[in-house]
Amino acid sequence: MAARQKWNRRRQRRSNLTKLVVRTLRKSQFARFLVVGMMNTLFGYSVFTVFVLLHVHYAIAALLSTICSIIFNFKTTGTLVFGSKNNKLVLKFVSVYAVTFLLNVLLLKLLTSLRIDLLLASALILLPIALVSYTLNKVLVFRS
């Protein structure tokens, strides 16, 4: 009997955590942006992996997976984060993508010139780049 009560308490805690996560995702556009970003990263890596496993040259695999990822990212970010299905915004979205890419490279160059390890530098700028990307998408691309 005690084992069953313990199991029920664990299940209730998991249920409460699930409710909290769902509530947070419904209320916080930025939280949705981060979750969709993780989903997009997994998608892009998966596409790249498939191309590599099909013996496509890594440079072509990177190019094709980047193109697929941008399209996937545009659709998921537009619909799941900002509630937009307007395909006419794709050029603005790609422009924001380009700006955040350049900012990422510049910050990596700056931090590595300060003798900060490349992987650590990348980890340090991850959240600031996400905030810039979110803000630019909200203000310039998917403004309501």
Identity of the residue numbered 13 = R
pLDDT of residue 17: 72
Q: pTM for this one?
A: 0.77
The DSSP string of 56-81 is --HHHHHHHHHHHHHHHHHHHIIIII
pLDDT of residue 1: 60
Whole-number Å distance between alpha carbons of 60 and 14: 43
pLDDT of residue 141: 97
- Give how far the C-alpha of residue 60 lies from the chain's centroid of Cα atoms, to the nearest Å: 22
Helix intervals (H) in 1-144: 2-27, 29-53, 58-76, 90-113, 118-136
pLDDT of residue 13: 72
Contact status, residue 133 vs residue 96, Cβ threshold 8 Å: yes
Per-residue confidence of the chain (144 residues) as pLDDT tens digits?
677 777 777 777 777 777 777 787 788 899 999 999 999 999 999 999 999 999 999 999 999 999 999 999 999 999 999 999 999 999 999 999 999 999 999 999 999 999 999 999 999 998 999 999 999 999 999 987
Neighbour count for residue 123 (Cβ, 10 Å) = 10
Of 80, 101, 109, 97, nearest to 141 by C-alpha is 97
Whole-number Å distance between alpha carbons of 133 and 101: 10
Contact status, residue 36 vs residue 81, Cβ threshold 8 Å: yes
